Chains A and B, each alone.
Chain A
Amino acid sequence: MASTQVNPTRMELTRLKKKLVTAVRGHRLLKDKRDELMREYLDLVRENMDLRKKVEKGIRDANRNFVLARAGMSEETLKTALLTPKQEVYLKTSTRNVMSVDIPVYDYTTRTADRNDIFSYGFAYTSADLDGAVQSLSDILPDMIHLAEVEKSCQMMAAEIEKTRRRVNALEHVIIPETQEGIRYITMKLDENERSTQVRLMKVKDMVLNDAHHYDERAAAGA
């Protein structure tokens, strides 16, 4: 490639050859990484979609229950009932390494051992609908947490796939052809130099021999 100036020396040639070997190996590895990431990702994203549909439906139903519950009691009673939550959710996060992407793994614990210990109010002043509404929301909480895990993983893997693909393409379409071009240029230049040295030597040899044996003068005398 004429755009990049390379020094036509043997040292440069060795350097470029080494670079080509590394680039080819890196290209192969990155391509494998991309394929494997893509496979994992496609499984994950399907799960993500199903979970999301399920969670959205669950929340929609729960919201409907809450609207009903709200209709049956006064605003103040409702706020008081939910003012001091009894339960608390703690999340333990760890990571799992998939093809050098650290995707999160969430593990949740509740403050009290019983996960259904969610009613922070006495049942005397609230409507029964509220109990059902809180329960329905509580039922989808595990799915919601799982959704968070899966969706975050998908987002991170998508970013990593994009990055890897860009690297693969850069190696395949820019670095490797450029290096090959450089190697070809240097080899041709070196061959050319060698030929010109050869010709110069032959010429010099002719001149030296002529000086020693006076071929020209003899030829002129003989004629």
Chain B
Amino acid sequence: MVKIAVMGDYDSIYGFSALGLSIFPIEGQDAEKASAILRNLAENDFGIIYITEETAALLPKEIAKYRERQSPAIILIPGVHGNTGAGIEGVKKTVEQAVGSDILFE
């Protein structure tokens, strides 16, 4: 049994705590703290980590590291400040990696 974590600024994620997901607020642009939390979550029992796109933009390297590992799944979600398109971009990137070019969504 593993748990689900949500990382991001407090305003974007506090609602998830009502559903029973564990929330880990990251305030501001504190990349160091965010990467420490992410590493901690990944090493412990969290199967899925949802990260808001803004916070994910702070730690591209850490997220890339976990991309090909089986656990955890790191999934980007839009934050309260709107959608930066990073999530869709991530899907396109996998298509490019697999096919060689972006054939699905021009």
Q: Chain A: residues with CB nearer than 8 A to chain B?
A: 38, 41-42, 45-46, 48-49, 52-53, 55-56, 59-60, 62-63, 66-67, 78-79, 82, 85-93, 95, 102, 104, 106, 108, 110-111, 118-120, 133-134, 137-138, 141, 144-145, 147-149, 151-152, 154-159, 161-162
Contact = CB atoms under 8 A, between A and B. Distances in A.
Contact of B70 (A67, A79, A102, A148): A102
The 6 closest A-B pairs by CB, nearest first: A152-B73, A87-B20, A158-B98, A88-B20, A158-B94, A161-B98
B83 A60 contact: yes
Nearest to B45: A91
B91 interface: yes
B64 to A, nearest CB: 10
Contacts of B50: 144, 148
Contacts of B17: 82, 85
A111 B94 CA distance: 35
Contacts of A155: 67-68, 94
- Of the listed residues A59, A63, A85, A155, the one surrounded by the most CB atoms of chain B closer than 10 A to its CB is A155
Interface string B1-28: 1111000000010111111110000000
A45 B83 contact: no
A154 B91 contact: yes
A149 B83 CA distance: 21
Interface string B45-68: 001101000000000000000011
Interface residues on B, range: 35 or more
Given A151-B91, A162-B97, A118 B48 contact: no
Interface of A is mostly: helix
Interface of B: 1-4, 12, 14-21, 47-48, 50, 67-68, 70-71, 73, 75, 77-80, 82-83, 87-88, 90-91, 94-95, 97-99, 104-105
A147 B75 contact: yes
Interface of B is mostly: mixed
Given A49-B105, A82-B14, A90-B1, 19 more contacts: A45-B104, A49-B88, A49-B104, A52-B87, A52-B88, A59-B77, A63-B12, A66-B80, A89-B4, A102-B70, A104-B70, A118-B20, A119-B18, A134-B19, A148-B50, A149-B73, A152-B70, A152-B73, A156-B68
B98 A87 contact: no
20 contacts: A49-B105, A59-B77, A62-B15, A63-B78, A66-B80, A79-B14, A82-B14, A85-B17, A89-B19, A89-B20, A92-B1, A93-B47, A102-B70, A108-B4, A110-B20, A119-B18, A134-B15, A138-B19, A148-B48, A161-B98
